[in-house]
Amino acid sequence: GAVVSQHPSWVICKSGTSVKIECRSLDFQATTMFWYRQFPKQSLMLMATSNEGSKATYEQGVEKDKFLINHASLTLSTLTVTSAHPEDSSFYICSASMLNTGELFFGEGSRLTVL
């Protein structure tokens, strides 16, 4: 099946620093990528939808200046958590929508811990 890769899988950073998470579709082109956040023992919360070459659409309550999303190509989207704080510690998951079928494939997730 199609593969979506996230990097890094784990990241620990100091409060106030910025962290970039990459999401790549390895063997298919993705028109749309989605970024989710999963809190412990809870479901996935959609943060934003990003379409290649255009600005991301953020869900209500998600700060676009804090969670910068760039979707520069049909195989890569990045999420940058700017000036991270401990409350931003979470599990971030991306998914990519295959160009022709619309089927979603999920990355393995990135665990962010902000000290």
Binding positions for other proteins, rule: CB under 8 A: 32, 34, 36, 42-46, 49, 57, 93, 95, 97, 102-109
For residue 56, give every residue at least 6 positions away whose Cβ sits within 8 Å of its Cβ, in sequence order, or none: 48, 49, 50, 64, 69, 71
In this complex, which beta carbon is closest to other proteins, that of residue 82 or of residue 99?
99
In this complex, which beta carbon is closest to other proteins, that of residue 1 or of residue 86?
1
Given a contact cutoff of 8 angstroms between Cβ atoms, the answer to whether 15 and 24 are in contact is no
Give the tokens for residue 104.
């979603």
The least distance separating other proteins from the CB of residue 108, rounded to whole angstroms, comes to 4
The least distance separating other proteins from the CB of residue 16, rounded to whole angstroms, comes to 29
In this complex, which beta carbon is closest to other proteins, that of residue 34 or of residue 88?
34
| β 90-98/104-106 pair status | antiparallel
Residue 50 β-bridge partners = 33
In this complex, which beta carbon is closest to other proteins, that of residue 19 or of residue 56?
56
The least distance separating other proteins from the CB of residue 20, rounded to whole angstroms, comes to 20
The least distance separating other proteins from the CB of residue 81, rounded to whole angstroms, comes to 20
Q: 69: burial class by Cβ within 10 Å (0-12, 13-18, 19+)?
A: buried
Residue count of the chain, please give it: 115
